[in-house]
Structures are given as C-alpha cells and as structure tokens.
Amino acid sequence: MIRGALSLLFWIFMAASSALLFPVALLLWAVTAPFDRRRVLLHRFTCFWASLYTWLNPAWRVEIRGREHIAPEQAYVMVANHLSTLDILVLFRLFTHFKWVSKVENFRLPFIGWNMRLNRYIPLVRGQRASVVQMMRAARRTLVEGSSVMMFPEGTRSQSGKLRSFKTGAFELALQSETPLLPIVIRGSGNALPKRGFLLRGRHQIRVDVLDPLPFDAFRSLSAKELTEQVRSVFAEELGQANA
C-alpha cells in the first residue's frame, strides 16, 4: 500500500513537473535555435530535467563511473544495455551531448515527447523497414554534424536482467560513418523499476559505467555482424554474463 502510494506520487510529480518545465524548454529552444543548430543548450537543460527524478528520489542512488572516457568534442555511437525505463533518466546524468534513437511512441507523449522533437532526437517505428532506413540516414547526418547518437542495441528492455541479443543497427552505423563506439554498462535499474511495472521498489544502487571507447581503426575490417558480437561480448564480460 505504501509503495503504491509513493509510486503514484512519483508519477504525479513527473507529470506535473513536465508540464511546468516544457514551457521553459520551448522558450529556450526559441531563443537558442538560430545559433545552436545541434540543440546543445536545450539538451543540457533536458539532462537537468531528467536528472531531477533521480536526484530527488532518495531510494535511487546513482553512481556514474568513467565519465572521463568521453571526449567532449568527439561524436560517438553510444550503446548501452537496457533494463528499465529508468535507464533513460540515468543516462541523462552523463550530462554529455547526444541524440536519442527512440521508438516513435515516445515522441507522442505530452511535454516529454514534444521536448524530444524540439531536441531533434531520432524516431523509429519498430518493425518498419522504411523507418529503419530513415533513422539510419538521420543518425548519419547527426554524427556528421558533430553530435553523438545513443542507442539500445538490445532493442527493448531485458525482463530477466540477462543481456539480450544485439541488433546490428548501431554497429552498421558506426562502420558506415567511421565513428568510434562508446559502450555504456548500466546496473541495478531493472531492480528499481522493472519492465512492465509502474511500482517503484525499495532502495537500490544504480551504476553507470562508461567503458573505454572503441576507435574506428579497431573495427574497420569487421563486418557489422562480427562487430555486433564483439561488442556484446564486452558487455557480457563486464556484467559477468560471459556465457549468456
């Protein structure tokens, strides 16, 4: 009963704060759009907006490690494992510039989805080949402009916590654009807010580890499939799931 009430309060706070913060984002977009084409300032505000929900929740202790591996002026194809909706909030805690690739349904959410469009994040219709082609084109253009692209190569959240198979899209993108890969490992978020659930669980430690980037020269000779399996092996070893 208590957990349900606290969860309800959290979601009400998220909805109410989003309604209040979106007009600020809209104003920031209007003022900065003429000179900030990559929406760097708007994305930084969005990082602050998203981080509020983990900063203000005493049950979620978020630790970021390896932030020094991110070169500020380098565009990366960023890839992270996916355990929970909470992953999106904790990745904003990196406070580094990137564009999300996200399912198109998220862009339809009031306030949050509208802000995603202002940020020029990249929508994807799952299972639709034409949308995949369009997403890849937009992602390549984003990298050329100097912005990193953030993707979940598993495609959807892992319900068991075990690493799922990786789709090749992010790795095809890295090969085609000759862009370094940046692996990011998330732990603990699935316990704090599991898939298919809205009830927040008790106190949990959530950790984000930014691993060493993989320069393009290290994988230029690999096929997309080989690179996909190689990077998945890096995640599996880091998570102690080498035999998964």
pLDDT of res. 127: 82
pLDDT of res. 221: 97
Residue 185 lies in a domain: yes
Residue 66 lies in a domain: yes
Residue 225 lies in a domain: yes
For 161, list phi and psi in degrees, rounded to 5: 90, -15
Q: Which amino acid is at 103?
A: K
Q: Are 163 and 236 in contact (CB under 8 A)?
A: yes
116 class by beta-carbon count within 10 Å (0-12 exposed, 13-18 middle, 19+ buried): buried
Q: Are 74 and 180 in contact (CB under 8 A)?
A: yes
Residue 243 lies in a domain: no
Residue 116 lies in a domain: yes
Residue 244 lies in a domain: no
Q: What is the CATH number of the domain that holds 132?
A: 3.40.1130
pLDDT of res. 159: 72
Tell me which residue of 7, 182, 181, 193 sits closest to 87, measured CA to CA. 193
Positions of the chain with pLDDT under 70: 1-3, 195-198, 202, 243-244
pLDDT of res. 99: 98
pLDDT of res. 193: 79
pLDDT of res. 202: 66
pLDDT of res. 244: 58
pLDDT of res. 192: 82
The whole domain housing 191 covers: 2-238
Q: Are 184 and 38 in contact (CB under 8 A)?
A: no
pLDDT of res. 22: 98
- Whether pTM > 0.95 for this model: the answer is no
Residue 93 lies in a domain: yes
SS3 151: strand
Residue 54 lies in a domain: yes
For 131, list phi and psi in degrees, rounded to 5: -70, -35
Domain count of the fold of the chain: 1
